[in-house]
A and B are shown apart, each in its own frame.
Chain A
Amino acid sequence: MLRLEKIGKTYRMGDLVVPVLRGIDLTILRGDYIAIMGASGSGKSTLMNILGCLEQPSEGHYYFDARDITKIADDERTDLRNYRIGFVFQQFNLLPRLTALQNVMLPMVYAGYARGERRQRAQRMLVDVGLADRMANLPSQLSGGQQQRVAIARALVNQPDLVLADEPTGALDSRTGEEVMDLVSGLHQSGITIVLVTHDSGVAACTQRIIRLQDGRIIADG
């Protein structure tokens, strides 16, 4: 489903050119459940951002369903993010002024769903993640675990086939972290491809394939 060919990424900091990723070759199959691990600064978040079409690689090719996304317009990448990819962030990244329901509805606004359908699907999504009675709450009125579930509902609402999670349990205590991981594993069982970044080996143990990064290179895959 995803294929990375010799992906490299360098950042320019003033005069300094810092290589973050070097020659990454990676293939991700439909239905994979993958953890990317590595020390901080190993480039795992950058790799995640490139997989999520949030960032463009400096070199190499990235094929999403055989389409080279390094060669398509920004609007098309945006649309891919909108209905093929779901994001779950460490800091949840919910919009603070919107209720849980409105947050979940947001991707559908950009996808062009009709108002009634947006509401219906978002409600169903929130029920599925166990927040039936929290829909009208603002993020600030929810616990961390609840916020992350809202974020997961938001990631799933446009029925993506790839979910990217950047340290999904990083800001949660271990019990709620486990609950969230149960939810993520459930998604995998329903056929969604999942890639998560973590440095918690307990979290990585839930997955089926662990990719280790060091200094911008893949040092282990399996």
Chain B
Amino acid sequence: MALHSAPLRSRSHRTIADLAETLPLAWESLLANRLRSILTMLGVIIGIAAVIAMVSIGRGAQLQTENQLKSLGSNLLFVQSGVATTSSPALLGAGSATTLIWDDAKAIASACESVADVAPVLNRRTQVVHAQLNTSTTVVGTTPEYVRVRDFLPLTGRFFNQIELLRSARVAVLGQTVVDSLGLTPGSALQQTIRIQGEPFTVVGTLEYKGVNSFRDMDDQVFIPLTTMANRIVGVNAVTGIALDSISVSARAAGQMDAAQYQITNLLRLRHRIVPPRQDDFLIRNQADLLSASNSVAGIFTALLGGSAAISLVVGGIGIMNIMLVSVTERTREIGIRRAIGARSSDILLQFMIEAIVLSLCGGLLGVVLGIFSSLLINLALGWKAGLALDALLASLLFCLVIGVFFGAYPARKAALLDPITALRND
């Protein structure tokens, strides 16, 4: 037998040649069934876009909460009355019993080295009336230090002063939400008389906007002197002095937060005669605790959103598998022809795998575009400054590739295992 002049058949060389050949072929077959391809990709497009948009919404919410917590004031500590029943920052027992008094606040101010300012707080939710309008709001009894502790600045007029505090003056400072609800403007509100539980108060100032944080509307508050609050609104005066809901404390510097917390804890234990094993009857929280609590909530939120979006990505993958199976059935004859003229079953496998991957990656890229677009839109609409979730973007594209491989594998294998002669006879 004469030696056949066989062409060079280097398998590794062949595979590369195949890839170069198969990619345009795959593209071609997607274009040939344009509507079908787009509908198939839609699942992946929506999935990817949803993952990117959801994750960036989650991140945006997180950033927003962070900013709001920071806007509460700087180096802030909250001393809450009540029994701390858990060690978690989520306050379960606090506030259930009133154990703090004004003298505690005064003691903290005078005795704790690391403390800059102290503002005692006594709140009630109640009706505030002006002319025919009334609103249900939080009335906060405090001292003039509140302004420094919580970074509240007057927009018009002024905060009440030390003299008004001592005299139990009936003066009030309004947050902007209250100003609006009472049909007033920051300018017109000054010197108006409002009624809190029937008592007339003169408005001496309105506060600048603080916005809504995750706990409440910071502008939906009315501030009056603590003394007036205790005497006229709450009407209960403990024998030991004015009872408080909480004390807001600012530390001298960020580095002194821990020191301030330690000093306050010791001082209050001393004053309240708390000796182990008795539990503290107060709880101190700092901004970092709140931040980490809200961050962990936001993290769960983001994971939940991203996770449910990822499910739609899997659904999209099933769509790809479905259409690839249809494609294999439709192209059985083509597979037979290719097998007859020398395509190995691995060549057929590769061809259909590449088609599935091209399908899922095209969907992925379109999804990325849609995702970026919609997260920009959301950020614009909500005024958030969350960046693009680049990691989510890369992860979802990678996921797309995995989906293409995973859901393309079964149809491609089915194509590769077709018997050439059966495939050829197929019409």
Contacts and interface: CB of A to CB of B under 8 A. Distances in A.
B14 A110 contact: yes
Contacts of B5: 159
B421 A54 contact: yes
B340 A54 contact: yes
Nearest to B342: A82
Contact of B6 (A52, A83, A93, A115): A83
Contact of A110 (B28, B29, B341): B341
B5 to A, nearest CB: 7
Given A54-B420, A97-B28, A78 B21 contact: no
Contact of A79 (B333, B336, B342): B342
Interface in B311-342: 333-334, 336-342
A97 B4 contact: no
Nearest to A117: B7
A109 B420 CA distance: 18
Nearest to A84: B4
Nearest to B2: A30
A112 B13 CA distance: 7
A113 B4 contact: no
A76 B288 CA distance: 69
A97 B421 contact: no
A154 B7 contact: no
B342 A93 contact: no
Interface centre among A1, A93, A112, A159 (most CB of B within 10 A): A112
Contacts, number: 91
A60 to B, nearest CB: 18
A112 B334 contact: no
A113 B28 CA distance: 22
A114 B17 contact: yes
Nearest to B14: A112
Contact of A1 (B1, B6, B10): B1
Contact of A112 (B8, B32, B337, B341): B8
Contact of B9 (A49, A65, A93, A112): A112
B258 interface: no
Contacts of A161: 4
A1 B17 CA distance: 32
A33 interface: no
A78 B344 contact: yes
B141 to A, nearest CB: 81
Contacts of A79: 9, 342, 344
Contacts of A113: 7-8, 17
A49 to B, nearest CB: 6
B38 interface: no
Taking residues whose C-beta sits less than 8 angstroms from the other chain, chain B's interface range is: 35 or more
A55 interface: yes
Given A65-B1, A109-B18, A115-B20, A93 B340 contact: yes
Contacts of A107: 341-342
A82 B1 CA distance: 19
A66 interface: yes
A87 interface: yes
Contacts of A81: 340-342
B337 A93 contact: yes
A126 to B, nearest CB: 16
Interface in A72-91: 74-75, 78-79, 81-84, 87, 89
Contacts of A65: 1
A127 interface: no
B342 A111 contact: yes
With most chain B CB atoms within 10 A of its CB, the pick from A82, A110, A111 is A110
A67 to B, nearest CB: 10
A70 interface: no
B392 interface: no
A221 B341 CA distance: 29
Interface in B1-59: 1-2, 4-11, 13-14, 17-18, 20-21, 28-29, 32
B347 interface: yes
A95 B10 CA distance: 26
A206 interface: no
A54 B424 contact: yes
Given A1-B1, A95-B337, A111-B14, 16 more contacts: A30-B1, A49-B421, A75-B345, A78-B339, A79-B9, A79-B344, A83-B4, A83-B7, A87-B341, A97-B28, A106-B341, A110-B341, A110-B342, A111-B342, A112-B9, A112-B11
29 contacts: A1-B1, A54-B340, A54-B424, A74-B345, A75-B344, A75-B346, A78-B343, A78-B345, A79-B344, A81-B340, A81-B342, A82-B341, A89-B424, A95-B334, A95-B337, A97-B28, A106-B338, A107-B341, A108-B7, A109-B18, A110-B18, A111-B9, A111-B342, A112-B9, A112-B13, A114-B17, A154-B341, A159-B5, A161-B4
